Structure 1
Amino acid sequence: MKNYSRGFSLVELMVAVLISSILILGVTDLFMSSYFSSRNNTELAQMQESGRIALEIIGADARRAGYQGCGIAADTETPLPNSGGTLPDDAVTSTAASNITFRYAVPGSGCTDATGSSTALDLTNPPITYSSANNTISRNDDPILDDASMAVEFLPSGSAVSATAIRVTITISDSRGANEITPLNARTFSGTYELRNRLL
């Protein structure tokens, strides 16, 4: 009596390879989908955080615009050094929709502390200029946010001289660039800041 060793037939082998391939493709597709979703979520979170922080930085300077210390009456004009105009009239200026300049005294100067000692008003603070060029937002030419642009609007009149508030709009693009397989749409963030230290 002869012994025959039995293995897979060619058809059985092809069916097994086909089923294995389908399973591997399914797992790979699931992994890639999860990977790209995770990357997009991380990029979106970074865009949102960057927009929020940039608006906080700009807003801090906007709220100080025109500050002349504690003891100066609200209707007093204070000359800035080097013929730089006066505070509060020239506290906020702009030469284009993509830039804005804030001027204010050194915070804390011109005030009286708890012991009754007063400090002289210090107007040597350099102007703070925010500008948007080459897909970067800068503060005094130091980049604070890449892959972004900025637009400034004076409210309610559109004029820097008579405005009582400003609206800053920041548009942030996907930092991974257009070569990304699934780039995110640009996100827009906006903040409105009242100019509290200005003559009305």
Structure 2
Amino acid sequence: MIIMIRRTILLISVFFIFSSFAGTVWGSTSNNVTIEVNSRLKQHSPQFKTNVRISFSNIKLYNDRVLLSYHVYDSRDAKILWEGARVPFTIDNSGKGSLTVDINLNSLLPADKLKYAKLKFDFVDENNAYWFSRNNDILLKSDTIILDQSLSSKFIGTLTGVLEDSPISFSINVIIFLLAIYSLVRLRKSGIL
């Protein structure tokens, strides 16, 4: 009889623990908000355009005064700029939206902070006066854009950017460059140069 009572208490305890845990896990996913960057996550100029996709799992979090903005951090994640430009956007009935954002960090940051910075998007709800990243009831996921203006990073970024944006033009330029070198070497060997 004592074993039956212990088993019943144990089962009831497990049920309540599971119910409370499952409720917090399932409840928290209903307030997911995602900001996904569809363009390069590594930038080499402080002025650029980026394509952003937005997804609200709970449409009730959105109103016409929710605006997209961003925060800027240094390499150690120390805040450089809390609030970038606020940009309006719209979402469809499924909670999804997309937009292109023009970012110019030259006008917002001192020159010494432009060598390396991290830009992370966030939403601000002007109706209810809060940032989504600071609201514990909302799980905000956002891609981070890295601004790296070191010489090697700019060089590699330029090459990969041209290769990604127009691989045919890049290939033709490489072939022409190699043919020009080959021609110069042949001309030099023949004694003309």
Q: TM-score, normalised by structure 2?
A: 0.30
More strand by percentage: 2
Larger-gyration structure (1/2): 1
